Structure 1
Amino acid sequence: MFYPQLTNAKDLLQQYDRGYRDFRRSKLQSIDLSECCLSGIDLTRSELNDSNLAHANLQGANLTEAVFVKAMLWRVDLRQARLTGSRGDRAMLIRANLSRATCDRAVLHRADLRLADLEFTDLSQTDLSGANLSYANLTGANLAGANLSYANLTGANLTNANLSRTQLDRAIVANICWEGSIVDDLDSSRVSWQDRANRDSAQIVTSFPQQVHGE
């Protein structure tokens, strides 16, 4: 059942507790939903700019084309959530759990994703330019066609990640685990390699192995 365009946290939580899940196009800027359980909620095309969702449970939520610019999402649970086409420029996603989430074509320009769990997350064609992904877990993530220009990947785990056609211009690359990852069409001269071992461990090929595609 659709509940029309809520604008405050109190009304949303009351309706959620009554069983409503469809809150598409809600205008929820600068509200506090920290530590709230909102699993399975539909916030498609909703506005959450500057809102506080720290420690919130949004597992399986639908945030397709939602806007959460500069939102606080520290330790938020977004496992298996849908964020296709969403926008979260400069969002704070430190230690957020987005494992197996669908984030294709999202804009996360300059987002803070330090220590975030992005295992098997679909980040294809996502704009992560200038994002901080230090020590993030990107095991098995799909970054095909993503923009990681000027991103900080220090200490990130990219085991079995798909970086086909990924833009890494001026990205900071140091102490990364590349095991099983394949990068094609990469101009290594434009990457800020912090040590030779990282540069030499990246596999520069033209296609992705079948077992990774089928993951």
Structure 2
Amino acid sequence: MDADELLTRYSAGERKFSQVSLRLVNLSEMCLSGINLAQADLAKANLSHSNLRGANLIEANLTAASLWRTDLTKANLIWTNLKAANLIRANLTQVDLYQASLQHANLRLADLSGADLSYANLSGADLSYANLSGAFLAKANLSGANLTGANLSNTDLSDVNFAKAILFKTDFSYVDFTQVDLTNVDMGECFLSKVKLPERRLLEVN
């Protein structure tokens, strides 16, 4: 399927396009809200600046796709492959990214507020200056991730892996760290207002 066929069928009211092959397709600046692209192959596709609000992208392959400034508000991205995807300034508010693969994805300045990132793999991802306030990150893998200037206030970080993550001026206000392994994690330059730290860490901070 090519872009023209998909857009023609979408304009006619069709929404179900699961398992279609759209590798390298250019769908930038298009309105595709509510589309069903579950298990679709969108590797290296260009979806920048498009409207994908409420889209179903469960298990879709978006490896190295361009989603710059794409609106994915409340989209379903469970088990989606977003490895090395460009999500700079993307709107991922209240998105479901349960067990999604986001290794080395570029999420700089993205809005992930209220998103479900539980069990997601964000190892090596660039989350600098991203907004993750109120997100659910239980058991997420953030090893080697860049969280410089990111907002993680009011997030659930239960059992998160922060090994070798860059935490510089990261906002952790109102976060409960009692179930987080902070061994060898440098939080000296982070904002820690109203946080709950493990007893051992409290002794170190004091």
Normalization by structure 1: what TM-score? Answer: 0.88
Match runs of 1:1-215 below 5 Å? 7-191=1-185, 193=186, 196-198=188-190, 203-205=196-198
Q: Sort the Cα spacing of 1:204 and 1:33 in 2 relative to 1 into closer, same or farther, 3 A.
A: same
State how far apart, in whole Å, the 2-side matches of 1:29 and 1:190 are: 41
Gaps of 5+ in 2: 200-206
Given that residues 115 and 134 in structure 2 are in contact (C-alpha distance below 8 angstroms), is that contact kept between their aligned partners in structure 1? yes
Given that residues 170 and 189 in structure 2 are in contact (C-alpha distance below 8 angstroms), is that contact kept between their aligned partners in structure 1? no
Gaps of 5+ in 1: 1-6, 207-215
State how far apart, in whole Å, the 2-side matches of 1:33 and 1:62 are: 16
Secondary structure of the corresponding residue to residue 169 of structure 1:
coil
Given that residues 188 and 199 in structure 1 are in contact (C-alpha distance below 8 angstroms), is that contact kept between their aligned partners in structure 2? no
Secondary structure of the corresponding residue to residue 111 of structure 1:
coil
Cα deviation code 1:18-45 (max 9, x no counterpart): 0000000010000100000000000000
Cα deviation code 1:134-173 (max 9, x no counterpart): 0000010000010000000000001100100111100000
Given that residues 98 and 117 in structure 1 are in contact (C-alpha distance below 8 angstroms), is that contact kept between their aligned partners in structure 2? yes
1:210 counterpart residue number: none
Cα deviation code 1:32-80 (max 9, x no counterpart): 0000000000000000000000001000000000010000000000000
State how far apart, in whole Å, the 1-side matches of 2:151 and 2:48 are: 24
Q: Sort the Cα spacing of 1:205 and 1:60 in 2 relative to 1 into closer, same or farther, 3 A.
A: farther
Given that residues 103 and 122 in structure 1 are in contact (C-alpha distance below 8 angstroms), is that contact kept between their aligned partners in structure 2? yes
Across the two proteins, how many residue pairs are aligned to each other?
A: 198
Letter in 2 for 1:81: A
Given that residues 139 and 159 in structure 1 are in contact (C-alpha distance below 8 angstroms), is that contact kept between their aligned partners in structure 2? yes
Secondary structure of the corresponding residue to residue 196 of structure 1:
coil
Residue 181 of structure 1 and its aligned partner are, at CA, apart by 1.3
State how far apart, in whole Å, the 2-side matches of 1:173 and 1:203 are: 17
State how far apart, in whole Å, the 2-side matches of 1:14 and 1:199 are: 50
Alignment RMSD:
1.5
Identity of matched residues, %: 45
